[in-house]
Amino acid sequence: MKRREFIALLGGAAAIGPLAARAQQPTRRVGLLMSQVENDSEGQARFRVIVDGLQQLGWTDGRNVRFDVRWTAGSPADPGKYAAELVALKPDVIFASGSVNVAALQRITRSVPIVFANIIDPVGAGFVASLARPGGNTTGFSAFEYSLAGKWLELLKELAPNLTRVAVLRDSSLAAGIGQYAAIQALAPPSLGVELTPIDVQDPSEIERAITAFAREPNSGLIVTGSTGAVVRRNRIIALALKYRLPNVYGFRYYPASGGLASYGPDAIDVHKRAAAYVDRVLKGEKPADLPVQAPTKYELVINLKTAKALGITVPQAVLARADEVIE
């Protein structure tokens, strides 16, 4: 081989080497702003279904995509901090769960695409212009309409017909918390003969104090509306309901799975799985403004019979017949 040809070949090999190495590096970046603590089983299940869903669509962590995850744990201070960290990494898209997290991201960026899941009333919260035409940089999957909250009161009265007082745990700082409580109020008087007492979930010490005081009167029950604060503190809320023998109803399956009495609401894991498809579409070039916000397609009624027994409740056969899952 002539010297000139050898040098050209060597130079070509040197050029190919770095290019090949670069080709093996992740080419896209996805941020995930999760609203639980990292060791929360529900949070891990939601995270896993997104990552697995994206892998099924051709996105493999470390090969052609990199995932950057932050767990905000429902703290008022952490969402802004972690949202800023993710935006600074210049991701192609950010997935966010929880209204607090989406609000934190929108305060920082109106250009990085955001896909959300399990958001109650995204229009009322100001996250999108409309469900059909979100506009801006944000779209995703809603949790449920406010009217569903009325179903929780109806279910609670079926399980405990003698109830005359119901405490409603809600996040009063969010439009969703106000809307859910209003839907329950609309049903309560006079049709069901129930007096409502709102309890805010933002302050853990206030939850314990308020539930303890509320439970002193007989014929009392508990409804926990959808909020990040309630999810993060669900074990303590469930423990208090059992301690004071309060029949209790929730909006998601993971509450009765953790010892609560009953829930009726959307399948949160399925919603996150569907959100993975939107992340994929954004990575492939579609804009959030053009992707309509979608509603849940699966709802489930879950009853925990062990908890019912501990509370001295005999679950009516009509309720058991409707149940999608009975935990024993």
Looking at per-residue pLDDT, the higher value among 214 and 173 belongs to 214
Does the fold of domain 148-266+300-327 match that of domain 26-144+267-297? Answer: yes
What pLDDT, on a 0 to 100 scale, did the predictor assign at position 319? 97
According to the 3-state scheme, what is the secondary structure of the chain?
Answer: CCHHHHHHHHHHHHHHHHHHHHHCCCCEEEEEEECCCCCCHHHHHHHHHHHHHHHHCCCCECCCEEEEEEECCCCCCHHHHHHHHHHHCCCCEEEEECHHHHHHHHHHCCCCCEEEEEECCCCCCCCCCCCCCCCCCEEEEECCCCCHHHHHHHHHHHHCCCCCEEEEEECCCCHHHHHHHHHHHHHCCCCCCCEEEEEECCCHHHHHHHHHHHCCCCCEEEEECCCHHHHHCHHHHHHHHHHCCCCEEECCCHHHHCCCCEEEEECHHHHHHHHHHHHHHHHCCCCHHHCCCECCCCEEEEEEHHHHHHCCCCCCHHHHHHCCEEEC
Query: What is the pLDDT, as a whole number, of residue 77?
Result: 64
- Return the minimum-mean-pLDDT range out of 6-10, 60-64, 243-247: 6-10
Domain 148-266+300-327: give its CATH code: 3.40.50.2300
> Is the per-residue pLDDT at 21 higher than 70?
no
What is the per-residue pLDDT across 294-305, written as a single tens digit (0 to 9) for each? 999 899 999 999
Arithmetic mean of pLDDT, 221-234: 90
| Percentage with pLDDT > 90 across the chain | 72
pTM here is 0.86
- Cα gap 328→318, rounded to integer Å: 17
- Could you tell me the CA-to-CA distances from 31 to 53, 71, 93 in Å, in that order? 15, 11, 6
| Percentage of residues of the chain with pLDDT beyond 70 | 90
Q: For residues 192-198, give the mean pLDDT.
A: 89
pLDDT at 203: 84
What pLDDT is stored for residue 4 in this prediction?
Answer: 43
Average pLDDT (103-116) is 97
Amino acid of residue 146: Y
Third-level CATH fold of 26-144+267-297 = Rossmann fold (3.40.50)
> Tens digit of pLDDT for each residue in 111-131?
999 999 999 999 988 999 999
Domain boundaries, the chain: 26-144+267-297, 148-266+300-327
pLDDT reported for residue 187: 81
pLDDT digits (tens, 9 = 90+) for 151-180: 999 999 999 999 999 999 999 888 888 999
